[in-house]
Amino acid sequence: MPDRRKPLVIVTRKLPDVIETRMMELFDARLNIEDRAMTRDELMAAMAEADVLVPTVTDTIDAGVIEAAGPRLKMIASFGTGVDHIDLAAAHARGIVVTNTPGVLTEDTADMTRALILAAARRLVEGERLVRSGEWTGWSPTSMLGHRLYGKRLGIIGMGRIGQAVTRRARGFGLSIHYHNRRRVHPEIAQELEATYWESLDQMLARMDIVSINCPRTPATYHLLSARRLALMKRDAILVNTSRGEVIDEAALTRMLQRGELGAAGLDVFEHEPAVNRKLLKLPNVVLLPHMGSATLEGRIDMGEKVIVNIRTFIDGHRPPDRVISTEF
Protein backbone atom coordinates (compact mmCIF):
# COMPACT_ATOMS: atom_id res chain seq x y z
CA MET A 1 0.00 0.00 0.00
CA PRO A 2 2.81 2.48 -0.82
CA ASP A 3 1.52 6.09 -0.89
CA ARG A 4 3.09 9.49 -0.32
CA ARG A 5 0.18 10.82 1.71
CA LYS A 6 -0.41 9.83 5.29
CA PRO A 7 -3.09 7.14 5.54
CA LEU A 8 -6.33 7.97 7.31
CA VAL A 9 -6.35 5.74 10.40
CA ILE A 10 -9.59 5.76 12.38
CA VAL A 11 -9.37 4.48 15.96
CA THR A 12 -12.64 3.34 17.53
CA ARG A 13 -11.76 3.75 21.23
CA LYS A 14 -9.39 5.82 23.33
CA LEU A 15 -5.90 4.32 23.60
CA PRO A 16 -3.03 5.23 25.97
CA ASP A 17 -1.82 8.79 25.36
CA VAL A 18 1.66 7.71 24.28
CA ILE A 19 0.14 5.49 21.55
CA GLU A 20 -2.29 8.14 20.34
CA THR A 21 0.51 10.71 20.19
CA ARG A 22 2.67 8.41 18.07
CA MET A 23 -0.26 7.68 15.76
CA MET A 24 -0.83 11.41 15.27
CA GLU A 25 2.85 11.78 14.31
CA LEU A 26 2.85 8.92 11.83
CA PHE A 27 -0.64 8.90 10.34
CA ASP A 28 -3.62 11.08 9.59
CA ALA A 29 -5.15 9.67 12.77
CA ARG A 30 -8.72 10.25 13.87
CA LEU A 31 -8.99 9.48 17.57
CA ASN A 32 -11.95 8.75 19.82
CA ILE A 33 -11.27 11.22 22.60
CA GLU A 34 -14.61 10.60 24.35
CA ASP A 35 -13.98 6.83 24.48
CA ARG A 36 -17.61 6.23 23.56
CA ALA A 37 -18.26 2.97 21.75
CA MET A 38 -19.12 3.60 18.11
CA THR A 39 -22.58 2.70 16.89
CA ARG A 40 -22.96 0.32 13.97
CA ASP A 41 -23.70 3.23 11.65
CA GLU A 42 -20.59 5.06 12.85
CA LEU A 43 -18.46 1.97 12.26
CA MET A 44 -19.83 1.66 8.73
CA ALA A 45 -19.13 5.34 8.09
CA ALA A 46 -15.57 4.90 9.32
CA MET A 47 -15.10 1.87 7.06
CA ALA A 48 -16.34 3.91 4.12
CA GLU A 49 -13.64 6.57 4.37
CA ALA A 50 -10.65 5.14 6.24
CA ASP A 51 -7.50 3.56 4.86
CA VAL A 52 -7.06 1.63 8.12
CA LEU A 53 -9.57 0.90 10.87
CA VAL A 54 -8.29 0.20 14.38
CA PRO A 55 -11.15 -1.49 16.26
CA THR A 56 -11.23 -3.24 19.60
CA VAL A 57 -12.88 -6.43 20.84
CA THR A 58 -16.08 -4.52 21.65
CA ASP A 59 -16.60 -3.52 18.00
CA THR A 60 -18.57 -6.01 15.92
CA ILE A 61 -17.05 -5.97 12.45
CA ASP A 62 -19.41 -8.39 10.73
CA ALA A 63 -20.07 -8.95 7.03
CA GLY A 64 -22.53 -6.05 6.88
CA VAL A 65 -20.02 -3.59 8.32
CA ILE A 66 -17.29 -4.90 6.02
CA GLU A 67 -19.60 -4.50 3.03
CA ALA A 68 -19.66 -0.77 3.80
CA ALA A 69 -15.87 -0.51 3.33
CA GLY A 70 -14.81 2.03 0.78
CA PRO A 71 -12.19 1.44 -1.90
CA ARG A 72 -9.50 3.02 0.29
CA LEU A 73 -9.86 0.62 3.19
CA LYS A 74 -7.25 -2.09 2.91
CA MET A 75 -6.53 -2.96 6.53
CA ILE A 76 -8.23 -3.69 9.86
CA ALA A 77 -5.55 -3.45 12.56
CA SER A 78 -7.37 -4.77 15.60
CA PHE A 79 -6.29 -3.60 19.05
CA GLY A 80 -6.48 -6.96 20.81
CA THR A 81 -5.54 -10.60 20.56
CA GLY A 82 -8.94 -12.13 19.83
CA VAL A 83 -10.48 -11.67 16.39
CA ASP A 84 -13.85 -13.31 17.00
CA HIS A 85 -15.46 -9.87 16.61
CA ILE A 86 -14.31 -9.69 12.97
CA ASP A 87 -15.76 -11.69 10.07
CA LEU A 88 -12.43 -12.86 8.70
CA ALA A 89 -13.94 -14.56 5.67
CA ALA A 90 -15.78 -11.40 4.63
CA ALA A 91 -12.65 -9.30 5.14
CA HIS A 92 -10.48 -11.65 3.10
CA ALA A 93 -13.11 -11.74 0.34
CA ARG A 94 -12.82 -7.95 0.07
CA GLY A 95 -9.04 -8.10 0.06
CA ILE A 96 -8.80 -6.47 3.48
CA VAL A 97 -5.81 -7.47 5.61
CA VAL A 98 -6.61 -8.18 9.27
CA THR A 99 -3.99 -8.01 12.04
CA ASN A 100 -4.10 -8.44 15.80
CA THR A 101 -1.75 -8.05 18.76
CA PRO A 102 -0.75 -11.52 19.96
CA GLY A 103 1.77 -12.36 22.65
CA VAL A 104 1.88 -9.09 24.57
CA LEU A 105 -0.99 -9.95 26.92
CA THR A 106 0.17 -13.43 27.83
CA GLU A 107 1.76 -12.68 31.19
CA ASP A 108 -0.95 -10.25 32.30
CA THR A 109 -3.77 -12.67 31.53
CA ALA A 110 -1.91 -15.55 33.16
CA ASP A 111 -1.44 -13.43 36.29
CA MET A 112 -5.19 -12.76 36.42
CA THR A 113 -5.96 -16.45 35.93
CA ARG A 114 -3.72 -17.27 38.86
CA ALA A 115 -5.41 -14.57 40.93
CA LEU A 116 -8.89 -15.92 40.16
CA ILE A 117 -7.86 -19.48 41.02
CA LEU A 118 -6.55 -18.32 44.38
CA ALA A 119 -9.50 -16.01 45.04
CA ALA A 120 -12.08 -18.68 44.26
CA ALA A 121 -10.33 -21.45 46.19
CA ARG A 122 -9.66 -19.36 49.31
CA ARG A 123 -12.84 -17.22 49.19
CA LEU A 124 -10.85 -14.00 49.17
CA VAL A 125 -13.64 -11.77 47.89
CA GLU A 126 -16.12 -13.15 50.42
CA GLY A 127 -13.61 -12.49 53.19
CA GLU A 128 -12.96 -8.94 52.03
CA ARG A 129 -16.70 -8.23 51.92
CA LEU A 130 -17.13 -9.65 55.40
CA VAL A 131 -14.51 -7.29 56.82
CA ARG A 132 -16.00 -4.28 55.02
CA SER A 133 -19.51 -5.15 56.22
CA GLY A 134 -18.51 -4.66 59.85
CA GLU A 135 -20.05 -8.02 60.71
CA TRP A 136 -16.79 -9.91 61.23
CA THR A 137 -16.67 -11.08 64.83
CA GLY A 138 -13.13 -12.44 64.84
CA TRP A 139 -11.21 -15.61 64.03
CA SER A 140 -12.92 -18.99 64.30
CA PRO A 141 -11.63 -22.50 63.51
CA THR A 142 -14.45 -23.07 61.03
CA SER A 143 -14.88 -19.57 59.63
CA MET A 144 -14.33 -18.85 55.90
CA LEU A 145 -12.94 -22.29 55.11
CA GLY A 146 -11.65 -22.61 51.57
CA HIS A 147 -9.55 -25.26 49.84
CA ARG A 148 -5.81 -25.86 49.71
CA LEU A 149 -4.29 -25.56 46.23
CA TYR A 150 -1.19 -27.67 46.83
CA GLY A 151 -1.56 -31.14 45.37
CA LYS A 152 -4.73 -30.38 43.42
CA ARG A 153 -5.18 -31.14 39.70
CA LEU A 154 -5.49 -28.22 37.30
CA GLY A 155 -6.99 -28.85 33.86
CA ILE A 156 -6.17 -26.25 31.22
CA ILE A 157 -8.37 -25.93 28.15
CA GLY A 158 -6.20 -24.42 25.43
CA MET A 159 -2.44 -24.84 25.84
CA GLY A 160 -1.32 -21.86 23.78
CA ARG A 161 0.83 -18.99 25.02
CA ILE A 162 -1.49 -18.10 27.88
CA GLY A 163 -2.17 -21.70 28.84
CA GLN A 164 1.55 -22.35 29.05
CA ALA A 165 2.11 -19.21 31.13
CA VAL A 166 -0.68 -20.29 33.50
CA THR A 167 1.00 -23.70 33.76
CA ARG A 168 4.34 -22.21 34.79
CA ARG A 169 2.66 -20.19 37.52
CA ALA A 170 0.50 -23.10 38.68
CA ARG A 171 3.50 -25.34 39.21
CA GLY A 172 4.64 -22.85 41.83
CA PHE A 173 1.44 -23.62 43.74
CA GLY A 174 2.26 -27.33 43.65
CA LEU A 175 -0.57 -28.13 41.26
CA SER A 176 -0.57 -31.17 38.99
CA ILE A 177 -1.01 -29.94 35.41
CA HIS A 178 -3.31 -31.50 32.80
CA TYR A 179 -4.47 -30.06 29.51
CA HIS A 180 -6.78 -30.51 26.53
CA ASN A 181 -5.94 -29.03 23.15
CA ARG A 182 -6.68 -29.82 19.53
CA ARG A 183 -3.25 -31.35 19.41
CA ARG A 184 -0.43 -32.11 21.79
CA VAL A 185 2.12 -29.40 22.43
CA HIS A 186 5.67 -29.97 21.21
CA PRO A 187 7.34 -32.75 23.22
CA GLU A 188 10.02 -30.38 24.54
CA ILE A 189 7.33 -27.99 25.84
CA ALA A 190 5.34 -30.85 27.35
CA GLN A 191 8.46 -32.08 29.14
CA GLU A 192 9.26 -28.61 30.45
CA LEU A 193 5.71 -28.05 31.68
CA GLU A 194 5.32 -31.59 33.05
CA ALA A 195 1.76 -31.54 31.73
CA THR A 196 -0.48 -34.54 31.05
CA TYR A 197 -2.36 -34.44 27.74
CA TRP A 198 -6.00 -35.52 27.47
CA GLU A 199 -7.41 -36.09 24.01
CA SER A 200 -10.87 -36.37 25.56
CA LEU A 201 -12.09 -33.16 27.17
CA ASP A 202 -14.91 -35.09 28.85
CA GLN A 203 -12.51 -37.44 30.58
CA MET A 204 -10.28 -34.60 31.75
CA LEU A 205 -13.14 -32.52 33.15
CA ALA A 206 -14.39 -35.38 35.30
CA ARG A 207 -11.04 -35.68 37.08
CA MET A 208 -9.94 -32.09 37.68
CA ASP A 209 -10.16 -30.04 40.88
CA ILE A 210 -9.69 -26.77 38.97
CA VAL A 211 -10.39 -26.01 35.31
CA SER A 212 -8.98 -22.94 33.53
CA ILE A 213 -10.32 -21.85 30.15
CA ASN A 214 -7.57 -20.33 28.01
CA CYS A 215 -8.71 -21.10 24.47
CA PRO A 216 -9.82 -18.55 21.85
CA ARG A 217 -13.45 -17.96 20.91
CA THR A 218 -14.08 -19.71 17.59
CA PRO A 219 -17.12 -21.51 16.14
CA ALA A 220 -15.61 -24.73 17.48
CA THR A 221 -15.34 -23.40 21.05
CA TYR A 222 -18.77 -21.79 21.34
CA HIS A 223 -20.36 -23.41 24.44
CA LEU A 224 -17.47 -25.84 24.53
CA LEU A 225 -18.37 -26.19 28.19
CA SER A 226 -22.00 -27.05 27.59
CA ALA A 227 -24.49 -28.05 30.28
CA ARG A 228 -23.59 -31.68 29.60
CA ARG A 229 -19.86 -31.08 30.02
CA LEU A 230 -20.27 -28.88 33.09
CA ALA A 231 -22.21 -31.71 34.70
CA LEU A 232 -19.16 -33.95 34.33
CA MET A 233 -17.12 -31.80 36.72
CA LYS A 234 -16.66 -32.60 40.40
CA ARG A 235 -19.20 -31.01 42.73
CA ASP A 236 -16.43 -29.14 44.57
CA ALA A 237 -14.45 -28.19 41.44
CA ILE A 238 -13.50 -24.61 40.57
CA LEU A 239 -13.97 -23.16 37.07
CA VAL A 240 -11.99 -20.10 35.95
CA ASN A 241 -12.48 -18.24 32.67
CA THR A 242 -10.23 -15.44 31.40
CA SER A 243 -10.81 -16.26 27.73
CA ARG A 244 -14.24 -15.47 26.25
CA GLY A 245 -17.60 -15.75 27.95
CA GLU A 246 -19.20 -17.59 25.03
CA VAL A 247 -17.01 -20.64 25.65
CA ILE A 248 -19.26 -21.50 28.63
CA ASP A 249 -23.01 -22.06 28.69
CA GLU A 250 -23.43 -19.32 31.28
CA ALA A 251 -27.04 -20.13 32.12
CA ALA A 252 -26.13 -23.75 32.88
CA LEU A 253 -23.12 -22.65 34.94
CA THR A 254 -25.29 -20.29 36.97
CA ARG A 255 -27.81 -23.02 37.73
CA MET A 256 -25.07 -25.39 38.89
CA LEU A 257 -23.51 -22.77 41.17
CA GLN A 258 -26.94 -21.99 42.63
CA ARG A 259 -27.64 -25.66 43.34
CA GLY A 260 -24.22 -26.42 44.80
CA GLU A 261 -23.41 -28.72 41.89
CA LEU A 262 -20.12 -26.88 41.36
CA GLY A 263 -17.81 -25.55 44.03
CA ALA A 264 -16.95 -22.08 42.78
CA ALA A 265 -16.11 -20.01 39.71
CA GLY A 266 -13.87 -17.09 38.83
CA LEU A 267 -15.10 -15.19 35.79
CA ASP A 268 -13.40 -12.27 34.06
CA VAL A 269 -15.60 -12.58 30.95
CA PHE A 270 -19.29 -13.16 30.32
CA GLU A 271 -21.40 -14.59 27.55
CA HIS A 272 -23.37 -11.39 26.92
CA GLU A 273 -21.03 -8.75 28.32
CA PRO A 274 -21.22 -6.07 29.43
CA ALA A 275 -24.52 -7.58 30.61
CA VAL A 276 -24.02 -10.03 33.47
CA ASN A 277 -26.55 -12.63 34.51
CA ARG A 278 -28.33 -11.10 37.52
CA LYS A 279 -28.42 -14.47 39.23
CA LEU A 280 -24.62 -14.64 39.11
CA LEU A 281 -24.43 -11.30 40.92
CA LYS A 282 -26.22 -12.78 43.92
CA LEU A 283 -24.02 -15.85 44.33
CA PRO A 284 -21.32 -15.87 47.03
CA ASN A 285 -19.33 -18.68 45.39
CA VAL A 286 -18.32 -16.78 42.26
CA VAL A 287 -15.69 -14.06 41.76
CA LEU A 288 -16.75 -11.58 39.07
CA LEU A 289 -14.36 -9.20 37.31
CA PRO A 290 -15.05 -6.65 34.52
CA HIS A 291 -12.96 -8.20 31.70
CA MET A 292 -9.73 -6.86 33.17
CA GLY A 293 -7.43 -9.83 32.66
CA SER A 294 -5.16 -7.90 30.32
CA ALA A 295 -5.71 -4.49 31.89
CA THR A 296 -2.21 -3.27 32.65
CA LEU A 297 -0.77 -0.02 31.35
CA GLU A 298 2.29 -1.87 30.09
CA GLY A 299 0.14 -4.35 28.22
CA ARG A 300 -2.03 -1.70 26.57
CA ILE A 301 1.05 0.22 25.42
CA ASP A 302 2.58 -2.97 24.02
CA MET A 303 -0.68 -3.62 22.15
CA GLY A 304 -0.66 -0.15 20.68
CA GLU A 305 2.93 -0.46 19.57
CA LYS A 306 2.08 -3.69 17.78
CA VAL A 307 -0.81 -1.97 16.00
CA ILE A 308 1.53 0.77 14.83
CA VAL A 309 4.16 -1.71 13.61
CA ASN A 310 1.53 -3.66 11.69
CA ILE A 311 0.18 -0.52 10.02
CA ARG A 312 3.61 0.88 9.13
CA THR A 313 4.79 -2.46 7.73
CA PHE A 314 1.67 -2.75 5.58
CA ILE A 315 1.92 0.84 4.35
CA ASP A 316 5.52 0.16 3.31
CA GLY A 317 4.29 -2.67 1.12
CA HIS A 318 5.34 -5.59 3.31
CA ARG A 319 3.47 -8.36 5.08
CA PRO A 320 2.45 -7.25 8.58
CA PRO A 321 4.04 -9.43 11.28
CA ASP A 322 0.68 -10.15 12.95
CA ARG A 323 -1.52 -10.82 9.94
CA VAL A 324 -4.43 -13.11 10.82
CA ILE A 325 -5.17 -15.92 8.40
CA SER A 326 -7.41 -18.09 10.54
CA THR A 327 -7.97 -19.09 14.15
CA GLU A 328 -8.23 -22.52 15.63
CA PHE A 329 -8.45 -24.21 19.00
pLDDT per residue as tens digits for the range 245-283 = 999 999 999 999 999 999 999 999 999 999 999 999 999
Place 190 in a pLDDT band, splitting at 50, 70 and 90: confident
In a domain, 51, yes or no: yes
Q: Taking each helix axis from N to C terminus, what angle separates 106-122 and 161-172, rounded to the nearest 10 degrees?
A: 50
pLDDT value at position 4? Answer: 55
Which is higher by pLDDT, 3 or 7?
7
Q: Assess whether 98 and 111 both reside in one domain.
A: no
Higher pLDDT, 110 or 328: 110
How many domains would you assign to the chain? 2
Average pLDDT of the chain to the nearest whole number: 95
Note whether residue 328 is domain-resident. no
Q: Which residues pair with 79 in a beta bridge?
A: 56
The answer as to whether 245 is a domain residue is: yes
Tell me the C-alpha distance between 329 and 321, whole Å.
Answer: 21
Q: What single DSSP character describes residue 328?
A: -
- Identify whether residues 63 and 181 lie together within a single domain: no
| Structural domain harbouring 217 | 106-134+145-288
Mean pLDDT, rounded, for 196-217: 97
Assigned domain for 326 exists:
no
If asked whether residues 123 and 254 sit together in one domain, one would say yes
pLDDT at res. 326: 63
Active-site annotation, residues: 244, 273, 291
282 shares its domain with 302: no
25 and 130 share one domain: no
Residues 303 and 212 in one domain: no
Using one digit for the tens of pLDDT, what is the confidence trace for 18-38?
999 999 999 999 999 998 999
- Over residues 121-157, the pLDDT tens digits come to 999 999 999 999 999 999 999 999 999 999 999 999 9
Nearest one of 126, 69, 151 to 288, comparing CA atoms: 126
E-strand ranges in the chain read 8-11, 28-30, 52-54, 75-77, 97-99, 153-157, 176-180, 195-197, 210-213, 238-241, 264-267, 286-288
Clarify whether residues 234 and 90 are in a common domain.
no
Considering the domain architecture, whether residues 180 and 274 belong to the same structural domain is answered as yes
Is residue 75 domain-shared with residue 114, that is, in the same domain? Answer: no
CATH number at residue 97: 3.40.50.720
In a domain, 246, yes or no: yes
Q: Is the pLDDT of residue 203 over 70?
A: yes
Residue 322 is assigned to a structural domain of this protein: no
| Residue 125 included in any domain | yes
Q: In the sheet that 176-180 helps form, which strands lie side by side, from edge to edge?
A: 195-197, 176-180, 153-157, 210-213, 238-241, 264-267, 286-288
pTM of the model: 0.89
Contact 146, 127 (CB under 8 A): no
Instruction: Confirm whether 49 is domain-assigned.
Output: yes
Contact 112, 292 (CB under 8 A): yes
Residues 110 and 100 in one domain: no
Residue 63 reports pLDDT greater than 80: yes
Same domain, 19 and 125: no
25 and 93 assigned to the same domain: yes
